[in-house]
Structure 1
């Protein structure tokens, strides 16, 4: 179904923008520093679509629903284009399932890579002050804190990344058949 290079190109471009939109959502949920240069780039890349949506769709608590709706729309567009270009057909409810499951899958993927970068940074550059390292720390800190409430660090050894990786991998395996 994905052997066509144009389908692969559509997936790469759409998933890259979906990643940026989901990153904006995560940055707002974690209350990351929006004066960080990387955050500013994410905001500039998504504002042309998010700002008009905000006029129509209000935020719900800390969740920027405009960014969430944009993420669902980008994933829906990806599914629609991939299905159309590959000549496949899926039922109407399939579009909703692929859209929601694919968005959650990519959100988990974002957290997986953020966690991996966080673990590597803790080995090679602990306490780094690079804007990227600071942003990764702000994104992953809520996950670490939530897991450390259940599994506290053992002396100087923090096992929470292992359990977070296992949980993310398990959830991604459940959603993998529905991600495009």
Structure 2
């Protein structure tokens, strides 16, 4: 019985986290004003449209931000966490606590999207600096707004851009000092901390 629950938790977390990532990417793409004609953007739009279309009728955009995709990301995170708790402990827990944990989880994933996009961007700048691959272009579109403030602070050192190093440090510090402390302070169970 324990093996079946563990397998079910694995399936729920894997498939749920994959769709959560796609939904949050939809929010990020609009946030960074990515090129929606990019084939990868088109895939994300098609994958999220069935859930987003009805929600958009109720929840409008706010200050140019796609609030419906952000809200759906939080709801998806809540469902993943509730199912995980149900399978692991037989209870879904307090709904208010689940909401707080879900916001923490979505925020952690939001930071990770930028962190890993910057890692990919740095690697691509070494191996394929002028690539016009749709994936490379999308990664650069995601990274550019995050790196722009650091590029204003750090001068260009003869063709060497060290702004990603500062951005990595800031994102990692936010994860270590804010996200992890919030997860512990709010009493997030260890099984849910694995999700963030």
Per the TM superposition, whether the score is higher than 0.5 is: yes
Distance of 2:90 and 2:161 partners within structure 1: 46
SS in 2 for 1:4: helix
The one of 31, 46, 62 aligned to 2:48: 46
Normalising to structure 1: TM-score of the pair? 0.93
Change in 2 beyond 3 A, CA 1:21/1:155:
same
* 1:20-72, Cα deviation, whole Å (9 max, x unpaired): 01111111111111011000000000000111111000000220011111111
The one of 111, 127, 132 aligned to 2:135: 132
- Give the RMSD, CA atoms, in angstroms: 1.9
The one of 147, 162, 171 aligned to 2:174: 171
Structure-to-structure mapping, 1:51-66, within 5 angstroms: 51-66=53-68
Normalising to structure 2: TM-score of the pair? 0.86
- The number of residue pairs the alignment matches comes to 180
The one of 98, 115, 127 aligned to 1:95: 98
Question: Following TM superposition, by how much is the alpha carbon of 1:88 offset from its aligned partner in structure 2, in angstroms?
Answer: 6.2
Gaps of 5+ in 1: none
Question: Following TM superposition, by how much is the alpha carbon of 1:154 offset from its aligned partner in structure 2, in angstroms?
Answer: 2.0
Gaps of 5+ in 2: none
